[in-house]
Amino acid sequence: MVRLFLVLLLICFSVALFPQQALQKVANHNLIYVDDPDSSNDVISATTFTFPFKDKTIRLSFLFGQLTSLGTPHEGIDIQAPAGAQVLASADADSYSFVDNGAKSYGKQLILSHSNGAYRSVYAHLNGLNDKIFTEVSKPDFKPGTFIKKKIYKGDYIGNVGCTGLCDGAHLHFEIRALDSKSGAYTAVNPKPLLSN
C-alpha cells in the first residue's frame, strides 16, 4: 500500500514538472512563443519531427491559427531567418514534390511526404534548392505537385530561405499536414509541439 502511494506521488510530481521543462527548452532556443488560441490540433510527435534549422535561436514571426491579411487562419508557422539560410528536412521522407507559384502565394515550395503519406511537411518562399532535388524537379517530364520517390533523411539540407511568392521579408513558412484517411484530404496541423525538441 505504501509502495502504491509512493508511485502515485511520483506520477503526480512528473506531471506537475513536465510543462516547466517544456517551457525551459523553448526558452533556451530564444523563440518568441505566444500560445495560440486553439491547441486541439497538437497531434505532432516531437520525436518524429524536428525544428527545420540547425540554428535554434531563430524567431517565429507568425503563428499557426493567427488570421492572415486574407482573413483566413495561418496554416503553418513563419520562422524568421536570413535569406540563404539552410533549411533542413524536419523528418525522414519517402518522397518529395515541388511547386513554383511565381510571385503568388507560397512562391517556391518544397513538400516532403512522411510515413507513407500519413504526413506532409511544407517549406515555402524558398529561393534555392538542394542540388540533387533541383536536378530532379528541373527534368522536363517532372509535373509540379507530383511526388518523386527518393529518400530524404531528417536533418538533410533541402533548400534555402528566401522571399518568393507573397512575402514581405525573408522567412520560412513551415507547415505540417496530416492525412485524413477517410476523405484522403490533408489538413494543416499545429507544428508547435516540435518546437520543444
> Any idea what DSSP says for residue 73?
B
Task: Kindly state the smallest distance separating residue 173's Cβ from Zn ion, in Å.
Answer: 3
**What is the secondary structure of 27-48 as a DSSP string?**
HHTT------S--TT----TTT
Task: Kindly state the smallest distance separating residue 66's Cβ from Zn ion, in Å.
Answer: 9
Q: Which is nearer to Zn ion, 69 or 181 (CB)?
A: 69
- Which residue minimizes CB distance to Zn ion? 173
CA distance 177 to 99: 16
Interface residue list for Zn ion (CB under 5 A) = 78, 173
CA distance 22 to 29: 11
CA atoms within 13 A on the CB side of 129: 21
- Count of residues for the chain? 197
CA distance 149 to 59: 33
Task: Kindly state the smallest distance separating residue 111's Cβ from Zn ion, in Å.
Answer: 15
Q: Which is nearer to Zn ion, 78 or 137 (CB)?
A: 78
Q: Which is nearer to Zn ion, 4 or 70 (CB)?
A: 70
CA distance 92 to 130: 16
Torsion of CA 46, 119, 164, 64, to 10 degrees: -50
Task: Kindly state the smallest distance separating residue 128's Cβ from Zn ion, in Å.
Answer: 18
Task: Kindly state the smallest distance separating residue 54's Cβ from Zn ion, in Å.
Answer: 21
Q: Which is nearer to Zn ion, 28 or 68 (CB)?
A: 68
Kindly give, in sequence order, each residue whose CB lies less than 8 Å from that of residue 168, ignoring residues fewer than 6 positions away: none
Q: Which is nearer to Zn ion, 95 or 160 (CB)?
A: 160
Task: Kindly state the smallest distance separating residue 2's Cβ from Zn ion, in Å.
Answer: 54
Q: Which is nearer to Zn ion, 95 or 112 (CB)?
A: 112
